[in-house]
Amino acid sequence: MSSTKSEKGSLLPSAQPAQPVPETSQRRKYVTFAVLVLCAFLQLGQYIHGFWFRRAPEQQHFPPASAEHSSLCPQVAPLVPEKSTDLYSGLAETFETKEFLFRAVDLLAGAVRIPTQSYDDLGPIGEDPRWEAFAPFHEYLLKSYPQVHATLNLTKVNTYGLVYHWKGTNSTLKPLLLTGHQDVVPVNPETYDEWVHPPFSGYFDGQYVWGRGSRDDKSGLIGVMTGIELLLERGFRPARSVVLAFGFDEEVSGKRGASALGEYLYETYGKDSFAMIVDEGGKITESYGGVFAVPSVGEKGYIDVRFELAAPGGHSSVPPAHTTIGMLARLIVEYENNQIEAVLSRNTPTYWHAECLAAYAPDLPDSIKDSMKYAGGSDEALRAAQEELFKDPTFKALVGTTTAVDIVSGGVKSNALPENVMAIANHRIATDSSVEEVKKHSTAILKTLATEFNLSYTAFGTSVTGDEPGYGMLTLSDAWGTALNPAPVSPVDGEDAAPFKLLSGTIKSTYKAHRALEEDVIPVIPSLVSGNTDTRYYWNLTSHIFRYSHYHAGSGTGLNGVHTINEACNATNLVEMMRFFTTLILNADESPAL
């Protein structure tokens, strides 16, 4: 329909020569026309909306995000002590000297030279002599930190667990708990020749301290102890108590170490008794053209699912259609092909992580930045961001529940049908999932094949196929009885986020001071660590648990050498870790919000 402008500038239907129309009929025509125009606009809007979000992510064009993204990932200002300014300034001068760098190197190197290896098959303490490796390490700490041992009260828990109590002057303040572990992953003797420097040499090449535990986690333990020694040397006395807890079997799940430490701390201090906990974990990393600090505010859950399959044996010359190994192979393939779908969900650490990348990562694709800007209120935008983000397999694995079949066994002779076979699948459970969800999913996946193979099927103590006996038996179970639900997520925003904000401000001021920068240049973004730490035993002590080591790991995973050959710690980064822990203690001591 053509149109002309009226004198008032509105668009109206153009005049058509016609006979006069009664007023009621004329009004009806105008109403009908208006309704038709409105319907046309609604249909056009629906078409555009559907076309927009059906397009491939790289073709989508959300309204461009503004240059200021802080609303996606709010940041706090760098935080430095206000009451202990002279002490803080004096420490800063110390950290910048070569003399202190060599002191830090010597302290870590000496710790590395004591091979405190923990093994999966360790027997009871007092019976297995391999535990005795920790006694020399305790002697080393006693010798290396005279002020700590003269001032703090030391309690040994389950023989080798260490708890240091630094009593503050104000008992109404919740203490700060700093934790780490004394043990290291064993070194395979067959790999000794592959090390640039021997694994327990503590060799310093002018840049790195080499050896097992130099990164995981003796650098953290030595960083904490050295920070407190420095504060004591300068006469500092805290208002807020500081507690240190060092386990001795973290690398084998902490069953004797942190488990006992958690019970002791709970009995001594009570439920929700600590202002915050900082353990090993997150780091400073480089990705998408930016540098970020990534403290972990949660941990994924964990379960190892054991598949056991039993069927009649016999001579291999008269085999069934499928041996137990053949059936197990089919079951494993079915299991791997039907994993729990990874979904990026709002209000999870990985979602917050994605928001912060969208806000501050220069080289993150624009399609992700634009999608994440609207993901909070648009499911289509969230799915578009997920599709792009999941192209990074590391990020996808961090978001979802992972499945890895790591152990398979069965068969004893090439001409005998195997009667019993077994496999174990490791699962790292998403923060918005649970052990129970993994069990239900695992059970459902294999039910059809169990019926096809005429197997009686029991999953996690419950019969799935009833009491009728089958040709064989399939059993699913928690392999070691160590299933663990995802950790509670520590608050990062709102009224209850003071500890995270204090941690963030400390990270920023440490990074800035260590590089003598004029501006705050490092965003702090919530994240997850890929494994589990000793903090699994400390959940009832506080709702504010952070896994963060303040080690500048550079690009990639930052795990080069950890749990494998050529583990090494950058000496400059070690000094920065010590600066971080002293600043954290001073900031926490002054904070009225914790």
Residue span(s) of the chain under CATH 3.40.630.10 come to: 85-298+489-590
* 315 marked as binding residue: no
Where is average pLDDT lowest: 216-225, 459-468, 505-514? Answer: 459-468
Buried-exposed string 74-88: b where 16+ CB fall within 10 A, e elsewhere: ebbebbbbeebeebb
| Other Cβ atoms within 10 Å of 125 Cβ, number | 17
Average pLDDT over residues 417-421: 97
| Cβ-proximal residues to 453 (8 Å cutoff; 6+ apart), any chain | 322, 327, 330, 470, 471, 472, 474
C-alpha distances out from residue 565 to 114, 212, 234, 469, Å: 17, 8, 39, 50
pLDDT at residue 146 in the model: 98
What are the tens digits of pLDDT across the range 220-247? 999 999 999 999 999 999 999 999 999 9
Residue span(s) of the chain under CATH 3.30.70.360 come to: 301-340+401-478
* 388 marked as binding residue: no
* 279 marked as binding residue: yes
Residue 281 region by backbone torsions, left for phi larger than 0, else alpha for psi between -120 and 50, else beta: left
Average pLDDT over residues 388-394: 96
pLDDT at residue 13 in the model: 29
Q: Would you name the residues annotated as active-site residues?
A: 183, 250
Q: Is the pLDDT of residue 68 over 50?
A: no
pLDDT at residue 447 in the model: 97
pLDDT band, very low/low/confident/very high, at 469 (cuts 50, 70, 90): confident
The CATH label, of 3.40.630.10, 3.40.50.280, 3.40.50.1820, 3.50.50.60, for the domain at 85-298+489-590 is: 3.40.630.10
Q: For residue 287, give the 3-state DSSP assignment.
A: strand
What predicted TM-score, i.e. pTM, was given to this entire model?
0.87
User: How many Å apart are CA 382 and CA 343, to the nearest integer?
Assistant: 10
pLDDT band, very low/low/confident/very high, at 49 (cuts 50, 70, 90): very low
Give strand pairing partners of 393. none
Give strand pairing partners of 13. 3
pLDDT band, very low/low/confident/very high, at 70 (cuts 50, 70, 90): low
Identify the burial level of 347 via C-beta atoms within 10 angstroms of its C-beta, where 0-12 means exposed, 13-18 middle and 19 or more buried.
Answer: exposed
Q: Could you tell me which residue, 542 or 51, shows the higher pLDDT?
A: 542
Where is average pLDDT lowest: 404-408, 476-480, 553-557? Answer: 553-557
Helix axis angle for 498-514 and 571-590, nearest 10°, is 140
pLDDT at residue 233 in the model: 98
User: How many Å apart are CA 360 and CA 352, to the nearest integer?
Assistant: 12
pLDDT band, very low/low/confident/very high, at 554 (cuts 50, 70, 90): confident
**3-state percent helix, strand, coil for the chain, nearest multiple of 5:** 40, 20, 40
Helix axis angle for 218-233 and 571-590, nearest 10°, is 60
What are the tens digits of pLDDT across the range 274-299? 999 999 999 999 999 999 999 999 99
Residue 191 DSSP class: G
What are the tens digits of pLDDT across the range 318-365? 999 999 999 999 999 999 999 999 999 999 999 999 999 999 999 999
Q: Could you tell me which residue, 554 or 253, shows the higher pLDDT?
A: 253
Where is average pLDDT lowest: 392-406, 466-480, 505-519? Answer: 466-480
Q: For residue 83, give the 3-state DSSP assignment.
A: coil
Q: In the structure encoding, which two tokens stand for residue 26, read together?
A: 């004329």
Residue 362 DSSP class: T
Average pLDDT over residues 495-520: 97
Return mean pLDDT, the chain: 90
The CATH label, of 3.30.70.360, 3.40.50.300, 3.90.1170.50, 1.10.3720.10, for the domain at 301-340+401-478 is: 3.30.70.360
pLDDT at residue 432 in the model: 96
